[in-house]
Amino acid sequence: RRVENILAVPINAVNARVKGSDKSIADKKKEETEGREDEDQRSSLAYDDELEEVVFVLKADGTVEKRVVRSGIQDITYIEILSGLKEGEEVVSDPYSAISKTLKNGTKVKVVPREKLFEK
């Protein structure tokens, strides 16, 4: 299916988080399994009920705001945003490890060109 005139962001910018929380999926799974030795006793997230799609929007003060979005179609590079984001707003798209695990509402970030992202 082909659509035109949509709002799309890099697919790396959209991540699933525990609904109503700054916890990543990995954090939630770690909490669920702490102290359990038997793999069969592990509970799993009820994905539809406990997860939400989020992006981190860059604010003027250099911090990010976690924003719940609703996504549409995607290809290998971009994903359509149906709600939760306005045209012109900047989202954090890399590094994925930060988006998926460490970014939280209010985190201060530094904008750098992608090619300089991993330089020390």
Q: How far is CA 91 from CA 15, 27, 35, 46, 118, in A?
A: 12, 23, 37, 27, 18
Of the candidates 47, 46, 64, the one whose C-alpha atom is nearest the C-alpha of residue 55 is 64
Q: Where are the domains of the chain?
A: 8-35+43-106
| Tokens read off for 43 | 């509970």
pLDDT at 102 over 70: yes
Q: Tell me, what's the pLDDT at 70? A: 96
At residue 95, the pLDDT reads 76
Domain 8-35+43-106: assigned CATH number: 2.40.420
Tokens of 40: 């069969």
Kindly indicate the confidence band of residue 35, based on its pLDDT and cuts at 50, 70 and 90. Answer: low
Q: How many CB atoms lie within 10 A of CB 117?
A: 10
Task: Kindly give the pairing relationship between strand 70-74 and strand 15-18.
Answer: unpaired
Asked if pLDDT for residue 85 goes beyond 80, the answer is: yes
- Lowest-pLDDT range of 3-7, 54-58, 64-68, 96-100: 96-100
Give the model's pLDDT for residue 50. Answer: 80
What is the arithmetic mean of pLDDT over 20-27?
68
Burial class (CB in 10 A: 0-12, 13-18, 19+), 47: exposed
Its pTM surpasses 0.85: no
